[in-house]
Amino acid sequence: MVNTAEKEQTAESLDLFESTQVIIKEALESLGYPDEVYQLLKEPMRTLTVNFPVRMDDGTVKMFTGYRSQHNDAVGPIKGGVRFHPEVNENEVKALSMWMSLKSGIVDIPYGGGKGGVICDPREMSFRELEGISRGYVRAISQIVGPTKDIPAPDVFTNSQIMAWMVDEYSKISEFDSPGFITGKPIVLGGSHGRDTATARGVTICVEEAAKKRGMDLTGARVIVQGFGNAGSYLSKFMHDEGAKVVGISDAYGAIYDEDGLDIDYLLEKRDSFGTVTNLFENTISNKELLAKDCDILIPAAVANQITEENAKDIQASIIVEAANGPTTLEATKILSKRGILLVPDVLASAGGVTVSYFEWVQNNMGYYWSAEEIAGKLKDNLVNAFKKVYDASEQHRVDMRLAAYIVGIRRMAEASRFRGWV
């Protein structure tokens, strides 16, 4: 359950909010929208702060603070994860709710973006205390969430068990069984096939599409994956299964590189639940060195701010697909773009998770469930289509794929707000 990469993500949030606003402004200007539309979309419409009590195992009652941010619901209900982390803060959930709006717009699912969080450290809490926090948080935000209002999901340090407690609590409050209240549930409670690998599958589809654009054959293509956690490990496996040669991987402690290709199955077997595996090797290199190694495709799947103004010139790959949130700074994006490197941005590449969450919600609403194969097929259709729209927008507006993704992602929300007469 514990997701080490996300610790860094909270630090990234300090300027995440502002840099998101900068690109949203640029995207709306490219689309010809007046400033009033930017004023509407530059921050969430609603952010709720809650303080709620939880009885701890030692008998004392402790107060916890949580947030739920809802960016804009012009298109449809709000959707976005809930993180449990000691560094959760209001600015972070606000920025992440805006990213969720962009992702939903890019993959064309009828949601606005949301994000929630509770300031706590699940690594220091018992199972029962975690249940208390999960239920307490849902009670505290219950008035603004619901299957047709705002649908939460797992995020940093939260998992399907936590979703199960949350849906149970919501069902009690609402006095009806409401599986569509939350996604990322266990399969027996209405969860969807393919949810756990959805992000890595989505990234893999983007790699395939990017390779086609560059006339690159994935068989034998040399791939470096930074990070070997949930996203990075599945990705390495999927790349390997496609016939690519994974020449480098890393974790928080270092990296390994072998131009003849790494034994991915062995690494998967040996990695621990935190995505650590390089400690088993002697000839490791640093993460910085790994990023500059020779390869065809680079997939940052660890933490933010890895490719910066400093090392963008050293990147050897001709394709970069961002599985992590914010691995490339805006300055580095410009340098890579000038160098002719095709960069598939995070808001597109990592949208597989929210796409399958949407499928889970649809299945809950229908009361009819799709097979793993059906989910995989629908995910592929959505992501291939999203990639095409973003790629075409980048050609049409003569901008890099990141700005193009923002243009595609924000357009529908701006249009819906216009039709509703909000701006």
Q: Under the rule (CB under 6 A), what is the footprint of ligand NAD?
A: 3-5, 8-9, 199, 226-232, 250-252, 275-276, 287, 301-303, 323-325, 350, 353
**Alpha-carbon dihedral of residues 99, 103, 104, 109, nearest 10 degrees?**
-170
Cα–Cα distance between 401 and 404 in angstroms, integer? 5
| Other Cβ atoms closer than 10 A to 110 | 15
C-alpha neighbours within 13 Å on the C-beta side of residue 200: 21
Residues forming a β-bridge with 222: 245
Q: DSSP label at 324?
A: S
By beta-carbon proximity to ligand NAD, the closer residue of 112 and 229 is: 229
* Least distance between ligand NAD and beta carbon 142 (Å): 26
Whether 188 contacts 163, CB under 8 Å: no
By beta-carbon proximity to ligand NAD, the closer residue of 33 and 99 is: 99
* Least distance between ligand NAD and beta carbon 302 (Å): 3
* Least distance between ligand NAD and beta carbon 78 (Å): 18
Cα–Cα distance between 265 and 270 in angstroms, integer? 9
Vertex 396: Cα angle to 415 and 392 (nearest 5):
85
* Least distance between ligand NAD and beta carbon 294 (Å): 19
By beta-carbon proximity to ligand NAD, the closer residue of 251 and 296 is: 251
* Least distance between ligand NAD and beta carbon 389 (Å): 20
DSSP 26-87: HHHHHTT--HHHHHHHSS-SEEEEEEEEEE-TTS-EEEEEEEEEE---SSSSEEEEEEE-TT
Residues forming a β-bridge with 48: 68
* Least distance between ligand NAD and beta carbon 288 (Å): 9
By beta-carbon proximity to ligand NAD, the closer residue of 304 and 404 is: 304
By beta-carbon proximity to ligand NAD, the closer residue of 30 and 97 is: 97
Whether 221 contacts 319, CB under 8 Å: no
Whether 70 contacts 44, CB under 8 Å: yes
End-to-end Cα spacing for the chain: 42
Of 420, 224, 247, the residue nearest 323 (C-alpha): 224
Q: Which residues contact 90 (CB under 8 A, 6 or more apart)?
A: 47, 49, 67, 69
Whether 282 contacts 237, CB under 8 Å: no
By beta-carbon proximity to ligand NAD, the closer residue of 30 and 199 is: 199
Q: Which residues contact 282 (CB under 8 A, 6 or more apart)?
A: none
* Least distance between ligand NAD and beta carbon 301 (Å): 5
By beta-carbon proximity to ligand NAD, the closer residue of 16 and 140 is: 16
Percent of residues in the chain assigned helix, strand, coil, to nearest 5: 50, 15, 35
Residue nearest to ligand NAD (CB): 229
* Least distance between ligand NAD and beta carbon 350 (Å): 4
By beta-carbon proximity to ligand NAD, the closer residue of 100 and 210 is: 100
**Which residues are known catalytic residues?**
115
